[in-house]
Amino acid sequence: MTEQPMATTTTMMEIKVEVIARETIKPSSPTPHHLKTFKLSLIDQFAPASYTPLVLYYATCGGSSYEERTQLLKNSLSQILTRYYPLAGRIKDPLFVDCNDDGVDYIETRVNCPISSILKQPKSELQNHFIPIKFKESGSGSLLLIQASFFEYGGMAIGIYTNHKLADAASFTTFLKAWAATASGFPDVVSPDFTAPSIFPARDDFQTLPSQVYEKPPQKVAVRRYVFNASKLHALKAEAANARVQQPTRVEAVMALLWKCAMDASRSRLGLASTNPRRPSILVISADMRPRLVPPLPESSFGNIGRPLVVHADDESENEMNLSNLVSSIRESKLELSKNCGVSEICGLLMELGKLQMRGGEVDMYTHTSWSRMPLYKADFGWGKPTWATIGHIEVPNVVVLSPSRDGEGIEAWVTLIEEDMAFFECNKDLLDFATINPSALNSLY
């Protein structure tokens, strides 16, 4: 179904985004009858009722025309949906997806500025102009929405919005990789593995449990972007090392630093002196279980196949909360992860997290997710790799998302906190010693 160009426009900071076309893209071949019902897994049941946003910016497009690019995107999307057929279906029940080939929403927009206006000094609130958020709210029920935005002088962005009930970040990027490979004409595209629901079967008695819903908080949320380059990461890892963890990973070191700075900000806002007991804090890390299961699942496994890794910091000793000790706490929790991957353990943990969330202001809870090893910069649809790959605007506080830098050696971090905490966080000397605040995404380093 193709609609006529629409007159809808969005204006912010003199940037106008006009919707020029909208289509429903369906699989190029009908889904076989025996695959029409896709069962969700236990972990899918607990997944948040939200969408995962990603924007890929291409400053140059190899000389290909607008018509060539948009036709290639639509044709390859239709082809890859035959393999990722649940994405073209609809969630009709808490326990399954109806793979009815209703299709995915595909939107094209025209932007009234060059792409450099967005990339020179990235702003979080501008990212949502290039993600089809308002079309998700239109009631089509699409589990995947794509927005192709065309800038003046040839640059473009591809915004991808995927329902978290069906796919975690690893599944999301596996689909992206397969779509780009199809567009580029590679014959050996890996098909998704759909065995996760048989390993973690959904439970009928959990149907009435509410999913996690990320509601907009009453406080204003501030969003900041930080980049850790290779040399700063090396120095940070050295600072975080200790007798128990002599070689911390880049992600462990960055997560520990950002967690420590967030805890310090919370204490400063509340006026807690260093002699007072530390406010309880919990770090929840989304951990991929694919390589940790026995036997391990392939990278192509589709669905939500992760579990939260919960790290506590509630010791009254100030020394216990230093960087190296926080790294040790994260490492110790990771080592316990492979021992607790069973269905009963995951159920218990998810229920425990729900209770912790109910405690509200009694404890500070932070959620960290790492995309730093995901091949976001390999998404070449035939006109080159992305100039910048980033998440959409986040309006939930106490969230950190790590992603790779373009050179693969650094880490980019988006951090959200309530405004009062961010005022202290962004002035933290420990943070500023290692991170660069919002550098240009056009810089060759990234």
Distance of alpha carbon 216 from alpha carbon 220, whole angstroms: 9
| CA 134 to chain CA centroid, nearest Å | 19
Category of 101 on φ-ψ map: left (φ > 0), alpha (ψ -120 to 50) or beta: left
Cβ atoms of residues 403 and 376 within 8 Å: yes
The set of residues, in sequence order, having a beta carbon less than 8 Å from that of 152 and lying 6+ positions away, is 111, 112, 113, 114
- In the 8-state DSSP scheme, what is residue 349? H
Distance of alpha carbon 85 from alpha carbon 100, whole angstroms: 9
The predicted structure's pLDDT at residue 1: 41
Q: Is 84 strand, coil or helix?
A: coil
Q: What is the pLDDT along the chain (446 residues), one digit of tens a residue?
A: 444 334 344 444 579 999 999 999 999 999 999 999 999 999 998 888 889 999 999 999 888 899 999 999 999 999 999 999 999 999 988 899 999 999 999 999 999 999 999 999 999 999 999 999 877 665 679 999 999 999 999 999 999 999 999 999 999 999 999 999 999 999 889 899 999 999 999 888 765 444 454 555 678 999 999 999 999 999 999 999 998 999 999 999 999 999 999 999 999 998 875 555 567 899 999 999 999 888 999 999 999 999 889 999 865 555 567 999 999 999 999 988 767 666 777 777 777 776 666 666 678 999 999 999 999 999 999 999 999 999 988 889 999 999 999 999 999 999 999 999 999 999 999 999 999 999 999 975 44
Closest CA to 19 of 32, 29, 33, 9: 9
As annotated, the active-site residues are 164, 380
Using the CB atoms, write b or e for 330-361: b if 16+ within 10 Å. Answer: bbebbeebeeebeeeebbebbeebeebeeeee
Cβ atoms of residues 420 and 98 within 8 Å: no
In 10 A of CB 385, how many CB atoms?
16
Cβ atoms of residues 430 and 257 within 8 Å: yes
Closest CA to 75 of 154, 184, 159, 150: 184
Distance of alpha carbon 313 from alpha carbon 186, whole angstroms: 48
Enter the pTM of the model.
0.91
Give me the residue spans of the domains in the chain. 9-206, 221-437
Domain over 9-206 is classified CATH 3.40.1410.10: no
Tokens of 327: 């790294």
Cβ atoms of residues 437 and 422 within 8 Å: no
The predicted structure's pLDDT at residue 71: 97
- Residue written as token pair 């290692």: 434
Distance of alpha carbon 150 from alpha carbon 129, whole angstroms: 12
Fold assignment, 221-437: Chloramphenicol Acetyltransferase (3.30.559)
Peptide bond into 32 cis (omega under 30): no
Cβ atoms of residues 426 and 413 within 8 Å: no
Distance of alpha carbon 382 from alpha carbon 184, whole angstroms: 5
Closest CA to 223 of 429, 7, 413: 413
HSE value, Cβ hemisphere, 13 Å, CA-based, for 318: 7
Largest distance between two CA atoms of the chain: 67
Helices (H), 39-168: 42-46, 66-80, 116-119, 124-127, 133-136
Distance of alpha carbon 369 from alpha carbon 153, whole angstroms: 35
User: DSSP of 115-126, one letter per residue?
Assistant: THHHHSS--HHH
Tokens of 141: 């029920």
Cβ atoms of residues 155 and 115 within 8 Å: yes
The set of residues, in sequence order, having a beta carbon less than 8 Å from that of 369 and lying 6+ positions away, is 169, 285, 286, 399, 400, 401, 402
- Residue written as token pair 């690019």: 69
Distance of alpha carbon 438 from alpha carbon 223, whole angstroms: 11
The predicted structure's pLDDT at residue 278: 65
The set of residues, in sequence order, having a beta carbon less than 8 Å from that of 197 and lying 6+ positions away, is 38, 39, 40, 41, 44, 303
Going through 295-362 in order, the beta strands assigned E by DSSP cover: 306-313
